[in-house]
Amino acid sequence: MMLLVTSGVAPYLAQAESILDVGETFVIPLLLKLVFVLGLFFVVPLVAGYLEHKVMGRMQHRRGPVEAGPFGTLQLVADGIKFIQKEDLIPSAADKWVFAIAPGVALVPAMLVFLVLPLGPGVFALDLELGLFYVLAASSVSVLGVLMGGWASANKFSLFGGLRAGGQLIAYELPLILAAIAVAVQAGTLSLVGIVEAQAEFMLFGSAINLWYVIPQVLGFAIFFVAALAELSRPPFDMPIGDSELVFGYMTEYSGIKYAMYMLTEYAGMVTMSGLMVVLYLGGWQLLPGVPMPGCEGAGGLFDCDATGTLLSVAVTFAKIMALIFVMVWLRVAYPRLREDQLQRIAWLVMVPLALLNLAVVTIAKVVY
Amino acid sequence: MAPSAPPGIGLLKGLGVTIKHLFKRPVTLMYPHERDELAPRTRGVIALMDENCTVCMLCSRECPDWCIYIESHKETVPPAKEGGRARTRNVLDRFAIDFSLCMYCGICVEVCPFDALWWSPEFEYSEYHMDGLLHEMDKLREWADTVPPPPPLEEGAVLPAEVSDAIAKAEKERELAAAKELEAKQAAEAPTPSAGAGPGKGKAAAEPEIHVKAGEIDQETYDQLIAEGKSERMARSKAKAAYVKKEKARLKAEAEAAGGADAGAPASAEAPQAAEVKVEAGEIDQETFDRLIAEGKPERMARAKAKAAYVKKEKARLRAEAQSDTGEGTGADEPAEVPSELGASPEAAREALHTDDGAAAEPAADATTTDVPAARKLGDVHVEGAGEIDQEVFDQLIAEGKSERIARAKAKAAWVKKRKQAMLDEEGGA
């Protein structure tokens, strides 16, 4: 492994410190991190949802939400309050316990991903050595919640939706992971912070031109993006919901707060997947390739920042995340839903071979250079 | 199955279309904040002008949903003449429409023989409870005030029978009066040879109707009314009326300027062409309104009177303008029998005769009628009972214990009679 390390420093060994690690005690950083993760989890998905409402509306010559709060910004908060007030319906034939905990099973993994997502220098709760592995593992648990909901609803549409989701998530998990492995190979680390640092120090074949991984691995990025869309059941890959065929798929029987939990899972997934793409391919909180962040000193001009640099870094990360979410919404508006057999065909006959090809090329290039 | 062609240019085209539309203006109309312009015959709600209703029950019987409720009683009206027969008439006690049943077919509006039911474009009368949709007479009458005036007739359209009849009748009366007057004149002084030519000339002076297309609004008026806290709908309709009025005044001024220039040439013996003075109703005279309200009159009556007062004032103003405009150009070249100081008299006379409301006693009218024949041919005096009533008669009848309905009807008749008398007096006096 040491052979693969590009610089003299071994980033995967030097675990970065979170700025939330203040004081000597265990409790205060813990509380701070809890607030940080929960705040991210409950706020950023709402921003993403608002963006989706507005962008979709404007693309369809509508205005999107305008009444709730200034420019309709509080629309999703209002929706949340409405969902909480609604009656919590459980079908009499449902497997009640499974039905009740299924949204939570889907929700919690989506929340856990925020734990390791780095938003800036030191702006993360945890820098795991196996960060990338952890993210992929945690996010793939969500499918269990979907399957449980589909099964427990005692409704054929829900069951169809759940099984479709299961098949889809298994099919697209593979290209997603293969694309991510290629990044890990090139960076030489599984730590998300380490990958950002490796990107900042990646030079084009010995020259002084800094590049993000999206350039050498443009194929991998495309695969990761499409697979992420499918993982999230976002249109045009929303066959598990397929409202023209399956009523509302695995969510058919859900209402009120449980339905809101599924929706929050989807939006949180959009944020975490976009965040992951930013970290893996788009240089993390780096403004442009080769441009050091003002106020920062560390490797690649991205670490050891003062307050301004930190805030700027976080802003850059969020801007990139929102840009990716914008593209997701754009695709949703532009394309109709695929058919179930087309979906599986693309996954197994196109995505997996291409992802393997990408991995092979990256690995060979890594060993050669 | 062969694998489909690699996704290519089509996908990018799709993205191009959506991104292009992202930057276009949304078509949304922000309804409660801004309003669509409704078509003039919008079927919003059914309004009732209860004073026109004779309780014939046609609407109620034709209604497919049976959602019109009418209650009435009979009253005996004393004979109009000595020794006449007393008559009975129906008096409307209740008229209600249940809009939770109504399906807006409009059959009742179609079938009403007395123009008591109208479509109004008001549509904001939703309720939290279904019971609230049963609307009684008072509410239906309020909506009647929102019924827009009918769109103007097309150029060259045949006048409605009742209008042309009224014009013919009035003309006949005036001819008779003119003949009498002419006789009297001839008896009094030596007959001038040119006197007979008067009517002919008057006829020759065709009167151009000024048509103004509605649709635009007068922004000034609109802003002002909005600033005064009027509802957006009312402000819009008033601003429209104001626009039409202004436009008409402008066109008339132009026409008169042109007419004046013509008349300046010695050859044109015809009277300069004058536009009919038409004043859009709808505005009210705030002074009159306030005064009447202060006198304790009901709001409805005050409004109606204030409207009439406004129309009267406006007409007087327009006529004064018209006179000052045309007087300069024409005076010198008038035919011999017309005194030069009355150069503008034909128009003024005509205008005076066109008034269809309480414009009788206008000062301008006094100077007019030496050239009676010219005016007579053209006038279309008809008194329209536009809802005005004679307050004196009304109060008196009410004091005598008559029902409000009868009092109103009689007061109306009295008003019309007075108006006619006033016009006749005016002509005769001149």
In chain A, what are the domain boundaries?
15-368
User: How far is Cα A330 from Cα A57, in angstroms, rounded to an integer?
Assistant: 11
Average pLDDT of the residues in B315-343: 55
Q: What tokens does A276 get?
A: 């992951």
Asked if the Cβ–Cβ distance from A58 to B3 is below 8 Å, we say: no
Please tell me the predicted confidence (pLDDT) of residue B377. Answer: 40
pLDDT tens-place string over residues A134-147: 898 888 888 888 88
Of A57, A63, A333, the CB nearest to B18: A333
CATH number belonging to domain B45-144: 3.30.70.3270
Q: Grade residue B99 by pLDDT with cuts at 50, 70 and 90.
A: very high
Q: For chain A, positions 65-124, list CB contacts with chain B under 8 A.
A: 66
Please tell me the predicted confidence (pLDDT) of residue B303. Answer: 76
* Burial of B141 per CB tally in 10 Å (0-12, 13-18, 19+): middle
B80 in reach of chain A (CB within 8 A): no
DSSP A18: P
How many C-beta neighbours within 10 Å does residue B320 have?
14
Please tell me the predicted confidence (pLDDT) of residue B295. Answer: 76
User: How far is Cα A202 from Cα A207, in angstroms, rounded to an integer?
Assistant: 10
pLDDT tens-place string over residues A307-355: 777 888 888 889 999 999 999 999 999 988 888 888 889 889 989 999 9
Average pLDDT of the residues in B379-397: 67
Average pLDDT of the residues in B322-335: 51
ipTM: 0.75
Minimal CA–CA distance to A216: which of A361, A119, A79?
A361
Asked if the Cβ–Cβ distance from B18 to A57 is below 8 Å, we say: no
Minimal CA–CA distance to A135: which of A235, A269, A283, A35?
A269
A62 in reach of chain B (CB within 8 A): yes
Q: For chain B, positions 27-56, list CB contacts with chain A under 8 A.
A: 27-28, 30
User: How far is Cα B255 from Cα B76, in angstroms, rounded to an integer?
Assistant: 55
User: How far is Cα B94 from Cα B102, in angstroms, rounded to an integer?
Assistant: 17
Of residues B283 and B52, the one with the higher pLDDT is B52
In chain B, what are the domain boundaries?
45-144, 165-186+207-429
Q: What tokens does B165 get?
A: 């009849």
A226 in reach of chain B (CB within 8 A): no
Inter-residue contact A272 to A110 (CB < 8 Å)? yes
Contacts of B29 in chain A (CB under 8 A): none
pLDDT tens-place string over residues A226-268: 999 998 888 888 888 877 888 888 888 888 888 999 888 889 9
Inter-residue contact B76 to B402 (CB < 8 Å)? no
Minimal CA–CA distance to A200: which of A309, A314, A300, A316?
A300
Q: Grade residue B205 by pLDDT with cuts at 50, 70 and 90.
A: very low
Q: What is the DSSP string of B131-182?
A: GGGEE-HHHHHHHHTTPPPPPPPPTTPPPPHHHHHHHHHHHHHHHHHHHHHH
Predicted TM-score (pTM) of this structure: 0.59
Asked if the Cβ–Cβ distance from A330 to B19 is below 8 Å, we say: yes
Of B17, B23, B28, the CB nearest to A62: B28
Of residues B315 and B110, the one with the higher pLDDT is B110
Q: What is the mean pLDDT of chain A?
A: 84
Strand runs labelled E in A240-340: none
